[in-house]
Amino acid sequence: MRQQSVVRGAVFTTLAMASVAVMAAVVKWASYGFSSELLMVVRWGAGLLVFGAYWALSGCVSLRTAKWRTQSMVGISWTMSVFVYYVSLRTLPLMDATLLLNTSALFSPLLAVVFAGKRERWTVWVGVLIGFVGVVAVLRPGSAVFQPMSLVALLSGLLMALRVFLNSQLGDEPKQRTTFYSLAVGLAVCLVLFAAEGFQVAPPDWQRMLFTPRQIAEPMFVDAALGVAVLALGLLSMAQPLLVAWSLQYASVGEVAPFRYTSVVVAAGIDWLIWNQLPSLAVVLGLVLIAIGATVILATRRITPQVVVTTLADTSQGN
């Protein structure tokens, strides 16, 4: 029975990570017609609406908190991580950007030492070292193929790790409350980014919006197909956390951790099918090393207090 549960957890994790790669592909393609800032507003706005319906139907857990600063920082770090990931997708291959986003497990022990003075087992540092050798293989600093935008993608992994660390300070907070603050604060950040990008916030002209000629709509919606893409993005962004939650009902984070890297494999397949880009040998080597390093870290932490293991689960939900 236990083996069957682990298999189910692995299946749900694989589906969740595949949805991450598909969302990233939608964003990469839709960025030709939409700005990353607009896509962020759509994703976070849809998430907040769905959460509102779920919150109302599930008992209306109190949203008041004494830890509003930490809750807000969780939302900010999560939102900025996804934002810089989306920005990196504009120029990087899908696989490279997704792989660097998944370095959050490597940064987590470093942040725990810096901000909390936490002492880790030596095996954790072995995992970190192996993982960062993989990062160097992907970045290829000093080579002709090095892209500065790769550092932006790496920053997304660091920000996601910061979100995990901050979430560890909210162990006594209901998950619904944390989800609300992450979405609400995140949407506020998205709107600020959208405004800074040039969007002029003005009272809506409903008549003009309902009867807009194509010429006026073109700057925001260059093709009806892009509207379908945004809808798919919203649906996938809701499905992915649900799949992660189901996977953790059947298996622990450490048991399903290796399957998180299926997002990178799916991203590589999409790169090849749509953009005709094949990963280089260095990127494949980097993928293997990063996956090994992260798995060593998570396997070691399975024997540590439950609060740490629980917060690592949030890494999967933040993509």
pLDDT digits (tens, 9 = 90+) for 186-216: 999 999 988 887 764 444 443 443 444 445 5
d(CA 82, CA 176): 20
- pLDDT (0 to 100) of residue 158: 92
Contacts of 130 (CB under 8 A, 6+ apart): 289, 292, 293, 296
- pLDDT (0 to 100) of residue 144: 56
What is the residue-averaged pLDDT of the chain? 75
- pLDDT (0 to 100) of residue 247: 75
- pLDDT (0 to 100) of residue 1: 47
**Angle at 73 (CA atoms; ends 49, 89), nearest 5 degrees:** 70
Quick one: 160 exposed, middle or buried, by C-beta within 10 A (0-12, 13-18, 19+)?
Answer: buried
pLDDT at 141 over 70: no
The residue ranking higher by pLDDT, 120 or 278, is: 278
d(CA 207, CA 204): 9
What average pLDDT does the segment 149-153 reach? 88
The residue ranking higher by pLDDT, 172 or 218, is: 172
pLDDT at 107 over 50: yes
Place of tokens 């987590």: 108
d(CA 165, CA 159): 10
DSSP H or E segment with residue 160: helix 149-167
What SS3 class is residue 138?
helix
Predicted confidence band of residue 91 (pLDDT cuts 50, 70, 90): confident
Tokens encoding 210: 């309902």
- pLDDT (0 to 100) of residue 207: 46
Q: Do the Cβ atoms of 46 and 238 come closer than 8 Å?
A: yes
Q: Do the Cβ atoms of 271 and 95 come closer than 8 Å?
A: yes
pTM for the full predicted model? 0.72
- Amino acid code (one letter) for 5: S
Tokens encoding 169: 């300070």
d(CA 248, CA 6): 9
CA 289 to chain centre: 20
- pLDDT (0 to 100) of residue 84: 92
Place of tokens 């892009």: 226
- pLDDT (0 to 100) of residue 293: 82
d(CA 110, CA 80): 19
Place of tokens 């798995």: 295
What average pLDDT does the segment 249-271 reach? 76
- Amino acid code (one letter) for 273: L
- pLDDT (0 to 100) of residue 226: 59
Quick one: 277 exposed, middle or buried, by C-beta within 10 A (0-12, 13-18, 19+)?
Answer: middle
d(CA 316, CA 297): 15
pLDDT at 5 over 80: no
What average pLDDT does the segment 93-116 reach? 83
What average pLDDT does the segment 237-261 reach? 69
